[in-house]
Amino acid sequence: MKMNLYSKTIIAALTVCLSLSSSALAQNERDNNLIKSGLKGWEFELKAGVNLGGAAPLPLPREIRKIKSFSPKFNGTLEGTATYWLTDENWGLSAGLKLENRGMETGAEVKNYHTKVVKGDQTVEGYFTGYNRTRYSAAYLTLPIMANYRLGERWKVRAGLSCSVLLDGSFDGYVKDGVLRNGTPIGERVTFRDDSRGTFDFGDELKPFQWGAVIGGSWRAYKHFSVMADLNWGCGDIFKGSFKTISFSLLPIFCDLGFSYTF
């Protein structure tokens, strides 16, 4: 799997961010206090993490007989968040800008799995029983808007909505070691064995916008450092509505685990 440009950017940015924040730790605390008082109620954070999850059908369709392998891959996230805390309240409103990768790689034994491979104006359609490998990797620019609630000194929980814009994405894979029935389950048998594969690429069918519901929380470990987790539950298929090849919807469900540095 080739690593796309965005993955590289995110990983590079992550590294920079982590090293910056370590040196920032050593900074004079007084400076920060000055900034803090100057901003009144505003809180700025820089977050870095990994997205774990996948684009999954819920519930799993009966066509999927066995998950042979699943890799969430190392999907970097980088986010800047601004929170405005209401005066003398524990409530705050936050908005962020997040550059994130979402991806996964799965291998599954499928039975009677409907697939249609389109290339140019040609199609191969049929029912496949055998091994199916799917790779999904996409970079999104996400805007989360959330309500925040402080629980004491260390805990912070939040919930809200997000809108993601697809920057670049691929969704491809292949079928092998099995039989494709051409057209219908009683159509001509097309056998795939040894190393012959039927490849597919649905990258162009990924939806350009993706809404999601987010819940998350942070725990402040040090004065400036927190660990955080945000679960982003995608609303609807990762594919465009016009895409019917995969007969079930794939919901993007990703949990962003990472650290945040509070200025």
Partner 1 sequence: MIKILRETASIATMAMSIAFVSCIREEAPNTEADILTCAVEGIELAQKPVITNNEVRFYVNGWDDRSALAPTFSISEGATIEPESGSVHNFNSPKTYTVTSEDGKWTKTYTVSFTAAGAISEFRSFSFENVRYYNSDGQDFFHIFYETRDDGTTFDWASGNAGFMFTNSSAPAVDYPTAQSDEGYSGKCLKLVTRSTGPLGAMFNSPIAAGNLFLGDFQIDITNTLKSTHFGVPYTKVPKYIAGYYKYQPGPQMTDIHNNNVDGTDQFDIYAVFFEPTDALPYLDGTNVLTADNIVAVGQMDDSIKVADDQWHHFYFELKTKDGKTIDQDKLASGKYSLTIVMTSSVGGASFTGAVGSTLCVDEIQLYYVN
Shortest Cβ distance from residue 85 to partner 1 (Å)?
A: 28
Identity of the residue, 74 or 149, whose beta carbon is nearer to partner 1 in the bound complex: 74
CB of 194 to partner 1, least distance (A): 5
Residue 60 vs 86, nearer CB to partner 1: 60
Residue 136 or 148: which CB sits closer to partner 1? 136
Report in angstroms how near the CB of residue 80 gets to partner 1 at its nearest. Answer: 19
Nearer to partner 1, 83 or 132 (CB): 132
Smallest CA-to-CA distance from 206 within 102, 132, 120, 107 is with 102
94/127 with CB nearer partner 1: 127
Could you list the residues that contact partner 1 (CB under 8 A)?
Answer: 18, 49-50, 52-54, 56, 59-67, 70-72, 74, 111-112, 117, 119-125, 127, 181-196, 198-199, 255, 257-259
Closest distance to partner 1 from the beta carbon of 36 (Å): 25
Contact in structure between 259 and 76 (CB atoms under 8 Å): no
Smallest gap, in angstroms, from Cβ of residue 86 to partner 1?
Answer: 33
CB of 47 to partner 1, least distance (A): 13
Of 236, 180, 229, 178, give the one whose Cα is nearest residue 208: 236
**Residue nearer to partner 1 on the CB measure, 94 or 261:** 261
